[in-house]
Structure 1
Amino acid sequence: MHNRHIRQVAIVGLQNIAVTAAYLVGRFWGLQLFAEGEFTRVLFPAAGIAVAGLMIFGLRVWPGTFLGALLTSETLGRPLLDGVALSLATTATYPVVCALLRRVDFHTQLDRIRDLLALVALAAGVGMIPAAVIRTSVVVLLGTSPPADFWDLTLVTWVSLAMGVLVVTPFLLAIRRMRWPRHVRPLRALEAVALLAGTAALTLAVTMVSPNRQMLFLVFPPLIWAAWRFQLAGSTPSILIVSAIAVYSMFHLPARLATDNDLITLEAFVATASLATLALAVAVSERNRAQDRIANASIELVHALNKLDESARPRQG
């Protein structure tokens, strides 16, 4: 019993370390790729990592998310008390979001449309509003931002958190269940690799050719193809690739200075592309499962009819 308890504590500790490391990677990724100064715009990957970690491992890994946020604050040179306050403000609502998802019987495999709706409405939508308000309030109280910018900063923070959950969380939930299929055909594996590479190349080309991002709709065909052919296994990495390149190009490959209208257009594109692609992937998965159930029921019915026919035949002799 004592060894079992030690083993459980060790497992929880390793899970917290893994979540902390992932949160740090997501936070620095966001700061390096999608940030203006120390503030992440449009996409906050760490939020998606935190929600996925809590949904996969449970509330026992919340200390890992807090530690990841605190370590990030320390590396940015903030005072310790300011870092603790901001870390608590950023991570305090993640357990509430996960509790809401479990309340509605959320499946981490995202195999139903209702699961996608719950993730969008409760996690990315309603769940991130308190997080944005609390974090912005702490930022204003610490004097980092003037009170006049409270509502604008709250809105931008909410969008950034929501996009992080919408883009990153489905990818982590899907990749956790990915298995290399047995007897996979070489052409299908080549198709998957070509699809991801082609999606990345097309997105990069579109963002460079169209500085105003009006041609981003050209990436919808490969996103649709990924959802149709590979469901979540193909759609979630495709969404992550498209979103990362599109947001990165806004801040690091500007042909002109990005305006507020450009940011709004980009945010609308990321949200629309993610929702449409995920919805199609989940719908196709549901259809495939329904077809499998019908096929299995048909086979069982045929077996039952054959047995009934054999029992009804007159015995000879």
Structure 2
Amino acid sequence: MASVVDVQRLRRPAAFVLQTLTVAAAYFGAGRLGLLRGLTVEGAVVTPLWPSTGVALACLLVFGIWVWPGIALGVLFVVMSLSPVQFAVIGTVFGNTAAPVCGYLMLRRVGFRTDLGRLRDGLALVFLAALTATLISATIGVGLLVLTGQLAADGFWRVWPAWWVGDAMGVLIVTPLLLVLMEARRPPRLTRWKEAVALTVATCVIVPVATLSSVSLLFLVYPLLIWAALSFQLVGSMLCALDASVMATVTATDRTGAFENMSSMTVMLKLQAFNGSMALTALLLSALITEQRNTRRSVEQACLELAEVLEHLTAGEAPPPGAPTAVDGEHSAGQRRADLRGP
């Protein structure tokens, strides 16, 4: 028995270390992907989409608060891959770790559900985790650039919105997609696969046309988002949004298509406006549709149970266990009348 207890005690630290390293590797990998497409604003390199923040928040929501060391370690790995380690790195690690942790705590406070089956969950993810919590990482990150002399003081308010929106986009696009994929239980039916293939082909054709065309055709993406949300809810709409966001980011950083002959600030503003409105549309629309479908299923189930009770009562049989009976209904009505009359 003592040996079994010792093995269990050893497994807990080993599992914690493995989980920490896995989260750190996921954060680092997502960060390196985000750095592949960066834009230079006032001499500072910012990413229109920083997926690491979304990965960090998803890990917190799935595994709990104690994965924060893995997030901090992942931030440190990303910083070390860019420049030599300096004292200011401590502030960067703190800011990029505190932002998703604060977002997680606020979501837990309001009763957030990871299935995103309610509109309130989508709104909480947008306004608390994406728009509010990321203020921490943006403010600390850009502030450190100013304090270390890498950015002029008058450039703070030009770089800060780009940093903030990049972190927020990581939460809006990456976090919902990871949450849905982690909770996936089984693939859709064969009939749904046919529609999924049709939606994929349409996305692969329309998204490049909308982003690569010199004419402003980015609005063509929105019918695809609506189709994906109506047919496949969150997983479909967020995959479509991710594809459109990646294509738009590549086009913007190459200064081609809809972003041709624009200044760096104009490209960043246009790209952020497109990515933000698209992600909000996909997330909130799919959450609303999912909530309505869940409500309809609950009403249908209640109607079926009521029909079963009425069928048993009409046939003179005893109703199923736990179902309300006519005697119970009369007793409840009489009790209510007695309560209204008072003693």
Q: Shared topology, TM-score over 0.5?
A: yes
2:210 paired with 1:206: yes
Report the Cα distance in structure 2 between the residues aligned to 1:67 and 1:257, rounded to whole angstroms.
40
Match of 2:103 in 1: 97
Report the Cα distance in structure 2 between the residues aligned to 1:154 and 1:2, rounded to whole angstroms.
51
Deviations 1:91-142 (A, max 9, x none): 2232111111100001111111101111111111111112211111122222
2:90 paired with 1:88: no
- SS of 2:314's partner is helix
2:200 paired with 1:196: yes
Identity of aligned residues (%): 34
AA paired with 1:125?
L
Report the Cα distance in structure 2 between the residues aligned to 1:95 and 1:149, rounded to whole angstroms.
28
Match of 1:75 in 2: 81
Cα drift, residue 312 of structure 1 = 6.8
2:61 paired with 1:55: yes
Match of 1:137 in 2: 143
Match of 1:236 in 2: 238
Higher Rg of the two aligned structures: 2
The answer to whether the Cα contact below 8 Å between 1:200 and 1:242 also exists between their aligned partners in 2 is no
AA paired with 1:245?
M
- SS of 1:126's partner is coil
Which deviates more, 140-149 or 195-204?
Answer: 195-204
Match of 2:226 in 1: 224
Match of 1:118 in 2: 124
Cα drift, residue 291 of structure 1 = 1.6
Which deviates more, 242-251 or 255-264?
Answer: 255-264
- SS of 1:93's partner is helix
Aligned pair in 2 of structure 1 residues 292, 33: CA closer, same or farther (>3 Å)? same
Report the Cα distance in structure 2 between the residues aligned to 1:22 and 1:251, rounded to whole angstroms.
24
The answer to whether the Cα contact below 8 Å between 1:54 and 1:98 also exists between their aligned partners in 2 is yes
- SS of 1:105's partner is coil
AA paired with 1:155?
P
The 5 A counterparts of 1:16-35 are: 16-35=20-39
User: Following TM superposition, where does structure 1 have runs of at least 4 consecutive aligned residues deviating by more than 6 angstroms?
Assistant: none
Q: Which runs of 5+ in 1 are unaligned?
A: none
Match of 1:176 in 2: 182
Match of 1:308 in 2: 313
2:4 paired with 1:4: no
Cα drift, residue 80 of structure 1 = 4.1
Aligned pair in 2 of structure 1 residues 38, 263: CA closer, same or farther (>3 Å)? closer
Report the Cα distance in structure 1 between the residues aligned to 2:44 and 2:175, rounded to whole angstroms.
23
The answer to whether the Cα contact below 8 Å between 1:26 and 1:49 also exists between their aligned partners in 2 is yes
Match of 1:299 in 2: 304
Aligned pairs, number: 309
Cα drift, residue 197 of structure 1 = 4.0
Match of 1:13 in 2: 17
- SS of 2:131's partner is helix
- SS of 1:81's partner is coil
The answer to whether the Cα contact below 8 Å between 2:48 and 2:162 also exists between their aligned partners in 1 is yes
Which deviates more, 296-305 or 5-14?
Answer: 5-14
Q: CA RMSD in A?
A: 2.1
The answer to whether the Cα contact below 8 Å between 1:97 and 1:127 also exists between their aligned partners in 2 is yes
Deviations 1:40-71 (A, max 9, x none): 33211111111111111111111111111111
Deviations 1:194-223 (A, max 9, x none): 313431332122211126xx2100111111
Cα drift, residue 81 of structure 1 = 2.9
Which deviates more, 5-14 or 130-139?
Answer: 5-14
Report the Cα distance in structure 2 between the residues aligned to 1:98 and 1:299, rounded to whole angstroms.
39
Report the Cα distance in structure 1 between the residues aligned to 2:261 and 2:28, rounded to whole angstroms.
29
AA paired with 2:307?
V
Match of 1:127 among 129, 133, 138: 133
Report the Cα distance in structure 1 between the residues aligned to 2:242 and 2:7, rounded to whole angstroms.
41
Match of 1:284 among 278, 289, 307: 289
Aligned pair in 2 of structure 1 residues 4, 258: CA closer, same or farther (>3 Å)? farther
Cα drift, residue 262 of structure 1 = 3.3
Q: TM-score normalized by structure 2?
A: 0.84
Match of 1:148 among 151, 154, 166: 154
AA paired with 1:229?
S
2:252 paired with 1:250: yes
Match of 1:268 in 2: 273
Cα drift, residue 83 of structure 1 = 3.1
Report the Cα distance in structure 2 between the residues aligned to 1:201 and 1:33, rounded to whole angstroms.
22
Report the Cα distance in structure 2 between the residues aligned to 1:53 and 1:35, rounded to whole angstroms.
27
- SS of 2:135's partner is helix
